[in-house]
């Protein structure tokens, strides 16, 4: 079952299956492509790549950031970023 990372509860884990890059806010094609590349690069630098196991440690209230455990490290990522990360959960 594929869910958004934000759909997981505290303590639940999943395997990253895909990351939605979006189209950016700019009107020009190349401007949006640069933002997508930057978003992808940022996630790769944090170790959030497809096939990686991620656990939600804590979800802040009022649509705040998520604290996640990935590759032996804890990270805080913004909710909008986490909404674009899809994970597969075994039920």
What pLDDT, in 10s, does the model give residues 16-74?
A: 999 987 655 544 545 555 666 788 888 999 999 999 999 999 999 998 999 999 999 99
pLDDT at residue 26, as a whole number: 46
pLDDT at residue 39, as a whole number: 83
pLDDT at residue 33, as a whole number: 58
Query: Quick one: which of 65, 52, 62 has its CA closest to 13?
Result: 52
**Rounded to an integer, what distance in angstroms lies between the CA atom of residue 7 and that of residue 19?**
15
């Amino acid at each position: 079952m594929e869910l958004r990372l934000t759909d997981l509860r505290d303590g639940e884990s999943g395997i990253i299956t895909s990351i939605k890059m979006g189209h950016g806010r700019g009107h020009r094609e190349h401007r949006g492509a640069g933002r997508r590349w930057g978003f992808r690069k940022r996630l790769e630098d944090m170790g959030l790549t497809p096939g990686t196991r991620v656990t939600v440690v804590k979800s802040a209230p009022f649509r705040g950031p998520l604290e996640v455990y990935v590759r032996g490290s804890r990270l805080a990522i913004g909710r909008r970023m986490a909404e674009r990360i899809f994970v597969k959960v075994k039920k």
